[in-house]
A and B are shown apart, each in its own frame.
Chain A
């Protein structure tokens, strides 16, 4: 099932062609390599525009990461923990 987390995480980020996307992040002591970015969206919170990425890890695990420019910081907002 999905777990709502809102955990701050360290994210290795690539800045490409005026945009950016997460490559890997560390969570619970493990490094998760991002195999694919499956979705992107953004939302406004006051003046800040938060960028969201739905990503796929290596073992059918999926996550939603949020880049909050006010930190700046990355937040792991949601994870699929593999239990149906």
Chain B
């Protein structure tokens, strides 16, 4: 049996749990509320106004002016997410994180029944509420697909067991886009074939689906029938990453080539650092550009060899920007690297040819950042957009300020003392 535990309005609920005055009020988690950006998460109290994740903040303020706009803290949510995984692991060793706020939990063995799985789910729900003050909706099913869709069918704080017949009763009458894995574009194509509901997809002829959608056609039909044989992969076993990337929504629309160049350099550096940190090299570099009119362009280029070098990634990203940016104001820019391989397994002629000095330098720079934090060293070229560094993920800028302050005052700092000389007055 498989549980899918889906935290209810996770980011907003964490803020409500940590700050009681937010409870019962519409809460919108976003980037810096003083800047332009998008809604990261909306509490259930804000949703009736029509606010949803991904909506521009400006529109959210118009729809829900009374909401409390809270700057999100990704590290806090990741920290809580890891604590939640620890909690799930007390109930089963088979826990697969699906996203920061969702996880599959496998309950296997001859004695596991729907009833016993429901009991475990109920216990997890109450422990999450008691320990974290958070709500979770849980789907309970024989496979991941049904568990995922069951969890989403009753929120917040839902507990939904669902077997295949119940899946058909619940989802077959619904719009095709309700099926997990079917997005707006795919749904439009299906409707053009006369497939408008999940049930119609479940009964569609295989040849029609194969002709229209290739290999995924029959797979989608299996999904519509509630069939899914995807295994649960416990996270201690790990899975290889397919790509790594970073993107940033700019604080204001930007057509300044120098600024965009600096941003590309910083993003390339972040991607390269992650690649090296997790032992990967990659050979396809892509950039993502989104204009102020929300037109998104993704362009990529394959390298001759694998790399984890930020300058190499940056050079390609820069060339892609030069070839594809027509000078229009951008609101978002991103860099990613795909076609990844484990370092050592990949053929890396460029790595072998690197001068020893370069490798030693890169290793030394990585060691400094491992020890002092990401913002202790940044490429000088990226400082052309210093304002944006305030939103380096994981609060690196605040650390930069502290490190800078420590370095600049190191000579004049008085020696630290374990106890203050004056009473604290508590």
Chain A interface (Cβ < 8 Å from any Cβ of B): 1-2, 4, 6, 10, 12, 23-24, 26, 31, 38-39, 41-43, 45-48, 52, 54, 56, 60, 62, 64, 71, 80, 84
Contacts and interface: CB of A to CB of B under 8 A. Distances in A.
Contacts, number: 70
Nearest to A60: B21
Interface in B120-134: 132-133
A31 B83 contact: no
Interface stretch (B176-184, B310-318, B370-378): B370-378
A26 B371 CA distance: 31
B424 A41 contact: no
A41 B79 contact: yes
Contacts of B425: 26, 31
Interface string B264-297: 0000000000000000000000000000000000
A81 B17 CA distance: 17
B416 A80 contact: no
Contacts of B371: 46-47
A48 B394 CA distance: 14
B75 interface: yes
Interface string B372-402: 1100100000000000000000110011000
A12 B18 contact: no
Interface of B: 14, 17-21, 68-71, 75-76, 78-80, 83, 132-133, 369-373, 376, 394-395, 398-399, 416, 420, 424-426
Contact of A45 (B18, B19, B399, B420): B399
Contacts of A84: 68
Given A4-B71, A39-B18, A52-B76, A46 B369 contact: yes
Nearest to A47: B371
A78 B75 CA distance: 15
26 contacts: A1-B68, A6-B398, A24-B426, A38-B17, A38-B18, A38-B19, A38-B133, A39-B14, A39-B132, A39-B133, A41-B75, A41-B79, A41-B80, A41-B83, A43-B75, A45-B372, A45-B399, A46-B369, A46-B373, A48-B373, A52-B79, A54-B18, A56-B20, A62-B18, A64-B18, A80-B21
